[in-house]
C-alpha cells in the first residue's frame, strides 16, 4: 500500500485579477472553480482509476493514504498559496481527518539570478496525510490562503475534491 500525492495547482494571478474582492473570512472561504485550479497527481499512475477536473477515483487496495499540496502555477513565486484546512462533508466517512505535521529543516534557496548560487536557510516544512477508511464516494474541501504581491493575505479559498474509492 502507499501514499498518493494530490497537488492542486492554482492560477493565482488570473484568480486575483478576476476576483479582487474575495473572502477574508478564514472560516468561510470562497469556493474555487476548475477555471482557476486543477488536480495533478504524482505517484504510480496505475493506482489512479480516473482523474477529471476535480474528480479522482482510486482503488482502495492500492492506496491507503492521501496527501494534499496546493501551489501556484509558478511554484509560489508569484502569489504564494498555503493550505490551512481540509473539510469533510457531513456523513462522509471515506477518509479520516487530515493530519498536518510541521518541522523545521535546513534547505537551500537561490541567492542570485543563477539558481545554482544558493544559500542554506532554515524553513518550516509542512506535510499532511489522511488515511482511506473505506470504499465509497465523498466530497472534500481543500482550504488555502492566497497571498498578494506584498505577501499579505489576499483571500481564502476552498477547492472541492470529489473522491471515489472502489
Q: Answer whether residue 133 shows pLDDT above 80.
A: yes
Instruction: Tell me what percent of the residues of the chain surpass a pLDDT of 90.
Output: 28
Query: pTM value?
Result: 0.85
Q: Where are the domains of the chain?
A: 3-99+128-165
CA distances from 131 to 6, 21, 58, 107, 154 (A): 13, 35, 13, 28, 31
The CATH number given to 3-99+128-165 is: 2.60.40.3910
Q: What is the pLDDT of residue 1?
A: 60
Q: How far is residue 152's CA from residue 147's CA, in Å, rounded to a whole number?
A: 5
Segment 159-166 shows an average pLDDT of 89
Q: How confident is the model at residue 51 (pLDDT cuts 50, 70, 90)?
A: confident
Q: Answer whether residue 21 shows pLDDT above 90.
A: no
Q: Answer whether residue 31 shows pLDDT above 90.
A: yes
Amino acid at each position: 500500500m502507499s501514499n498518493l500525492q494530490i497537488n492542486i495547482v492554482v492560477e493565482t494571478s488570473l484568480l486575483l485579477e478576476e476576483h479582487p474582492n474575495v473572502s477574508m473570512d478564514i472560516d468561510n472561504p470562497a469556493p474555487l472553480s476548475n477555471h482557476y485550479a486543477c488536480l495533478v497527481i504524482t505517484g504510480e499512475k496505475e493506482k489512479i482509476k480516473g482523474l477529471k477536473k476535480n474528480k479522482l477515483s482510486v482503488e482502495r487496495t492500492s492506496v491507503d493514504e492521501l496527501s494534499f499540496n496546493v501551489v501556484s502555477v509558478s511554484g509560489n513565486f508569484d502569489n504564494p498559496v498555503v493550505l490551512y484546512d481540509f473539510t469533510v462533508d457531513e456523513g462522509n466517512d471515506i477518509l479520516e481527518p487530515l493530519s498536518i505535521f510541521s518541522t523545521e529543516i535546513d534547505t537551500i534557496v537561490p541567492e542570485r539570478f543563477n539558481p545554482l548560487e544558493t544559500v542554506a536557510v532554515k524553513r518550516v516544512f509542512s506535510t499532511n496525510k489522511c488515511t482511506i477508511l473505506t470504499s465509497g464516494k465523498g466530497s472534500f474541501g481543500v482550504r488555502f490562503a492566497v497571498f498578494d504581491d506584498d505577501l499579505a493575505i489576499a483571500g481564502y479559498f476552498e477547492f472541492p475534491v470529489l473522491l471515489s474509492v472502489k
